[in-house]
């Protein structure tokens, strides 16, 4: 049995597990060509550290988020005692609706989260202009965009602060982990001070994450993923637990702790192969994108001329919710790496209801109802990809 992961993560090799004397922070700074980076225990922890730092400098309370993003982004805002304000999306895209965004920005807005979704690069022009007009911080959520650029600069370095995720299946992983960066030297020192205060070293967490990283190294292969990913997925789908099927079943409890030296060494070892991995997945995407785009009806999300993203998967907007569901009925349990990124727009998660401001976000709900993802894993061969294309084409003909 073989299973394709829903996202193209960088597989680990046994040599990566050797505790050599490399320093992940230094190697990542060299890779990104930035002055310095900070390692956190997750992308969410990086967001919490950033919010904790900037809220010490302002009495403002509102943080604007896209209404379709990882629910952990909203939970991080709530964790900090701030008010998450949702902004609708532009029709048929993950970028903010610029009109609504301008209406939401005011003198009580602390920050806007700019989301580079699934490796695609967001349009930052409107966000940066509004931030300048209102004195708002810009936090870039670049979770799956390590290696992406906007106008030649690494995403995460355009706003005031940014972060990447090193969670399971990302381009680079320490099982759980995050990368926090800023172009401002003073803010960088403040972020480090906040992390030292709220995220101490915890042996229990580090031991658990180290064991999980060993399991990932062993099972993140086509022959190990049926056990690690496929069985839990099919069990959740059979029970009708869609949120659990994609891993959106989060709680308010956000772990905050340091990452140990061994896991950092594993990340540094794997980082040596990341440039070639990004080059190979980008080349694979360039070959397959025209084949996807040739199917009448679906829309494949790509980058604007200013952005150069990474390609962990393809985001496909089907013509209707019925067409998307028809495709998933054939493909979600097929083992071919077809999935959903998030199940709902943020207002529709049960654990977030009643806790968010501005929940009238029809474009985000439409986006959530029509979008599916197709893995860009190098393990997905041409025959399997052709099968996916065939099912997508048939499903796209479904009446709305």
* pLDDT per residue rounded down to tens, the chain (400 residues): 799 999 999 999 999 999 877 899 999 999 999 999 999 999 999 999 999 999 999 999 999 999 999 999 999 999 999 999 999 999 999 999 999 999 999 999 999 999 999 999 999 999 999 999 999 999 999 999 999 999 999 999 999 999 999 999 889 999 999 999 999 999 999 999 999 999 999 999 999 999 999 999 999 999 999 999 999 999 999 999 999 999 999 999 999 999 999 999 999 999 999 999 999 999 999 999 999 999 999 999 999 889 999 999 999 999 999 999 999 999 999 999 999 999 999 999 999 999 999 999 999 999 999 999 999 999 999 999 999 999 999 999 988 7
Whole-number Å distance between alpha carbons of 398 and 69: 27
Q: How many residues does the chain have?
A: 400
What pLDDT, in 10s, does the model give residues 280-312? 999 999 999 999 999 999 999 999 889 999 999
pTM over 0.95: yes
pLDDT at 35: 96
Whole-number Å distance between alpha carbons of 115 and 103: 19
Torsions phi, psi for 284 (to 5 deg): -65, -40
pLDDT at 398: 85
**Strand arrangement of the beta sheet that strand 149-150 belongs to:** 153-154, 149-150, 307-308
Q: Which two tokens stand for residue 80?
A: 């900090």
Strands (E) located in the chain: 38-40, 62-66, 83-87, 109-115, 137-141, 149-150, 153-154, 161-165, 178-181, 299-300, 307-308, 313-317, 338-339, 371-375
Q: Which two tokens stand for residue 180?
A: 């926090």
**Strand arrangement of the beta sheet that strand 83-87 belongs to:** 38-40, 178-181, 161-165, 137-141, 109-115, 62-66, 83-87
pLDDT at 22: 83
Q: Chain centroid to CA 332: how far?
A: 20
Closest of 312, 4, 66, 171 to residue 301, by C-alpha: 312
> What three-state secondary structure class fits 397?
coil
CB count within 10 Å of CB 13 equals 12
pLDDT at 155: 97
Q: Are 64 and 141 in contact (CB under 8 A)?
A: no
pLDDT at 167: 95
The structural domains of the chain, ordered by start, are 275-395 (3.90.1150.10)
| Alpha-carbon separation of residue 346 from 12, 62, 350, 361, 373 (angstroms) | 33, 16, 9, 9, 18
Torsions phi, psi for 379 (to 5 deg): -80, -10
Q: Which two tokens stand for residue 291?
A: 């084949």
Whole-number Å distance between alpha carbons of 220 and 183: 34
Q: Which long-range contacts (CB under 8 A, 24 or more apart) does 188-193 make?
A: 188/35, 188/36, 188/38, 190/53, 190/56, 191/38, 191/49, 191/50, 191/53, 191/161, 192/38, 193/53
pLDDT at 15: 94
């Amino acid at each position: 049995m073989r299973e394709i992961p829903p996202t193209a993560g960088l597989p680990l090799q046994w040599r990566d597990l050797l505790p050599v004397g490399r320093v992940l922070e230094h190697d990542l700074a060299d890779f990104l060509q930035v002055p310095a980076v900070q390692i956190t225990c997750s992308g969410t922890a990086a967001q919490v550290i950033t919010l904790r730092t900037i809220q010490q400098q302002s009495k403002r309370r509102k943080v604007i988020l896209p209404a379709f993003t990882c629910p952990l982004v909203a939970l991080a805002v709530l964790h900090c005692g701030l008010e998450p304000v949702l902004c609708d999306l532009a029709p048929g895209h993950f970028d903010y609706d610029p009109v609504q965004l301008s209406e939401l920005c005011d003198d009580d807005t602390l920050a806007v989260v700019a989301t580079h979704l699934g490796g695609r690069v967001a349009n930052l022009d409107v966000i940066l202009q509004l931030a300048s007009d209102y004195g708002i911080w810009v936090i870039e959520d670049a979770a799956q965009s390590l290696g992406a650029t906007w106008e030649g600069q690494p995403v995460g370095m355009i706003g005031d602060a940014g972060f990447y995720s090193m969670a399971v299946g990302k381009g680079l992983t320490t099982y759980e982990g995050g990368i926090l960066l800023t172009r401002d030297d003073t803010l960088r020192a403040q972020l480090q001070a906040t992390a030292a205060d709220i995220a101490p070293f915890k042996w229990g967490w580090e031991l658990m994450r180290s064991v999980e990283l060993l399991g990932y190294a062993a099972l993140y292969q086509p022959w190990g993923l049926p056990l690690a990913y496929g069985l839990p997925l099919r069990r959740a789908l059979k029970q009708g637990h869609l949120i659990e099927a994609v891993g959106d079943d989060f709680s308010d409890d956000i772990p905050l702790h340091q990452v140990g030296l061994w896991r950092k060494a594993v990340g540094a070892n794997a980082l040596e192969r990341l440039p070639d991995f990004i080059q190979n997945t980008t080349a694979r995407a360039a070959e397959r994108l025209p084949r996807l785009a040739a199917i009448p009806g679906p829309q494949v999300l790509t980058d604007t001329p200013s952005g150069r993203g990474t390609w962990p998967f393809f985001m496909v907007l089907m013509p209707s919710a019925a067409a998307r569901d028809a495709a998933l009925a054939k493909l979600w349990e097929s083992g071919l790496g077809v999935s959903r990124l998030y199940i709902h727009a943020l207002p529709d998660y049960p654990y977030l209801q009643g806790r968010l401001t501005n929940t009238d976000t029809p474009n985000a709900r439409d986006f959530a109802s029509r979008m599916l993802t197709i893995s860009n894993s190098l393990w997905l061969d041409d025959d399997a990809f052709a099968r996916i294309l065939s099912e997508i084409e048939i499903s796209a003909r479904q009446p709305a």
